[in-house]
A and B are shown apart, each in its own frame.
Chain A
């Protein structure tokens, strides 16, 4: 379903993604793990048509994300690291907007919206503005939204960041369930190793833009003689702390937005 060969992305002198190759099969749940700044998000951006690669081959369902951008876009749903809902609109309106953008005809759109919102336990709140939702509810809504156009692939970029264990658990249950029922391929990144271990069938670990290990959680643990995936992860990537350059303007905007949140 996803095929990546010798993929590179350079920003000036910096090589963010350095000659990586991997494949994700149909219906598989694949975890892409790595420390901050390892190249996870850059890879997702290239896979999801948001960024052209410097070199290498990319295929989503047999299609190239740059040449057939719109065809590729129809085939996946994505939940970004940062929430991408419109807080001023209601849950139902966010779903409506998504459905229209993905050309889902009205009737199936409404039916599927109801089905998804019910299964994600948001149906009762469908007419509330999203800015009144808790972090977990927003996340659930984003995942429900990503499923609205029945994608073949679901990208989840650190979907559980900042959520409590209960919410995280519930969220993965939903994702696993949809994977089983609809056969959707899942490509996820996370910093919580226990999640990856529990959810993913296959894992690739990326560090400094290179894939340093790949295999099932069991295989990775055996290779390193570790009792948990977290230990295995630390063996593969070392224990040095990575300082990511912080996106200053985003932080600042967030502050401004907080100040105005009452009005907006």
Chain B
């Protein structure tokens, strides 16, 4: 337990110390929120769907949690190249605990980052529909963070260099975001598109967030949560396998 705790604490310490990075990482969500929220607003309204800002805010929150989690997982790449990973790998502790500490730390950081974006959303004019379900929103953020931190650690365990990371960003992480329904409703999508969005774990995260924040959802929130729990568990297992195989 103490191993998991100290590695978790390390991630947190790093987060609180990189203030410039925290501010920088708020830029992208803000851009989406403002450019899309206000830019697409009139079209969305005309289509009879209400306020686009309200609709897109949960998607932007999910996005920031997604990016933050995956990036923390990529941090493994840094640890690996700069030797810190070796320090943990020669320590007399099971590798599973190292992986869990790192992943849970990354997830916690991602949730904190997400909470900052929540604040930004409120400033931009976003309003919660039902305060009673807000704790559920927190739960969904946590689930999204767990899923994608585990994914990040898995990828970080097999990646060798920065080009690989770039490739993963473009061909995995960006598609996960754009195909999740974060930016558009999932109703009346073309058949193929609809099938693809259903295979994207973030879809259920966004849907769950939306249901708890603005009371609008495509699936049953309980189903959303279940899918996320299952995917997170599978990815944690995959991640620990891959992590155990790391050779430095």
A14 within 8 A of B: no
Let me know if B82 and A263 touch, CB within 8 A.
Answer: no
Roughly how many angstroms separate A93 CA and B85 CA in the complex, as a whole number?
16
A228-264 residues at the B interface, CB under 8 angstroms: 248-250, 252-254, 256-257, 262-264
Q: How many residues of A contact B (CB 8 A)?
A: 39
A152–B83 alpha-carbon span in the complex (Å): 23
CB distance from B101 to the nearest CB of A (A): 10
| 3 A-B pairs with the lowest CB-CB distances in the bound complex, closest first | A84-B83, A249-B161, A101-B91
Is there contact, CB below 8 Å, between B13 and A51? no
| Given A49-B90, A82-B86: 10 more A-B contacts, CB < 8 Å | A70-B93, A82-B82, A84-B86, A84-B87, A85-B87, A97-B6, A252-B161, A253-B77, A253-B81, A257-B78
Residues of A within 8 A of B86 (CB): 50, 80, 82, 84
Q: Please indicate the chain B residues that have their CB under 8 angstroms from the CB of A96 in the complex.
A: 6
Q: Which of B15-23, B26-34, B125-133, B204-212 forms contacts with chain A?
A: B15-23
Q: Which residues of B does A touch, CB under 8 Å? A: 2-3, 5-7, 10, 13-14, 17-18, 20-21, 24, 77-78, 81-94, 160-162, 247-248
Which residues from A are CB-within-8-Å of B248?
A: 45, 50
Measured CA separation A6–B98 after assembly (Å) = 33
- CB of B18 within 8 A of CB of A86, answer no
Say yes or no: B81 contacts A264, CB within 8 Å: no
Q: Mark A82-100, 1 if CB is under 8 A from B, else 0.
A: 1111101100010011101
Quick check: A80 and B83 within 8 Å, CB to CB? Answer: yes
Do B162 and A253 touch across chains, with their CB atoms under 8 A apart? yes
The one of A98, A250, A262 that contacts B81, using a Cβ cutoff of 8 Å? A250
Q: Judge whether A50 and B14 touch: CB under 8 Å.
A: no
Cross-chain contact B81 with A89 (CB below 8 angstroms): no
Main secondary structure, interface of B, reads: helix
Select from chain B the residue with minimum beta-carbon distance to A76: B90
CB distance from B75 to the nearest CB of A (A): 10
Q: Verify A100–B3 contact, CB threshold 8 A.
A: yes
Distance of A51 Cα from B246 Cα, bound (Å): 10
Which residues from B are CB-within-8-Å of A257? 78, 82
Taken together as a complex, chains A and B put the C-alpha atoms of A76 and B83 apart, in Å, by 17
A-B contact pairs, 5 of them (CB 8 A): A93-B13, A102-B91, A248-B161, A249-B162, A253-B161
Contact residues in A for B78 (Cβ distance below 8 Å)? 253, 257
Does A78 lie at the interface of the complex (its beta carbon under 8 Å from any beta carbon of B)? yes
**A88-B24 contact, Cβ under 8 Å, with A70-B92, A73-B91, A73-B92:** no
Of the candidates B6, B18, B92, B247, the one whose C-beta lies within 8 Å of that of A264 is: B18
**Residue in A closest to B6 when the chains form the complex, CB atoms:** A100
A70 to B87, CA, bound (A): 14
User: Measured between alpha carbons, how far is A53 from B93 in the docked complex, in Å?
Assistant: 21
Q: Knowing A253-B77, A253-B162, say if A84 contacts B13 (CB, 8 Å).
A: no
Are B90 and A50 in contact, CB atoms less than 8 angstroms apart?
yes
Q: Is the CB of B90 within 8 A of A78?
A: yes
Question: A86 to B10, Cβ gap below 8 A?
Answer: yes
Question: A36-72 vs B: 1/0 string, CB under 8 Å?
Answer: 0000000001001111000000000000000000110
A226 close to B (CB within 8 Å): no
Residue pair A88, B92 in contact (C-beta under 8 Å): no
| Residues of chain A contacted by B17 (CB below 8 angstroms) | 88, 129
Within 100-120 of A, Cβ neighbours of B (below 8 Å) are at: 100-103
Residues of B with C-beta under 8 A to A73: 90-92
- Give B248's nearest chain A residue, CB to CB: A50
Given that A80-B86, A88-B14, A249-B161 are contacting pairs, would A74 and B92 also be in contact in the complex, using a CB cutoff of 8 Å? yes
| Chain B residues positioned under 8 Å from A249 (CB to CB) | 81, 160-162
Shortest CB–CB separation between residue B181 and chain A, in angstroms? 32
Write the nearest CB–CB distance from A97 to chain B, whole angstroms.
5
Taking the closest CB of chain B, its distance from the CB of A213, in whole angstroms, is: 29
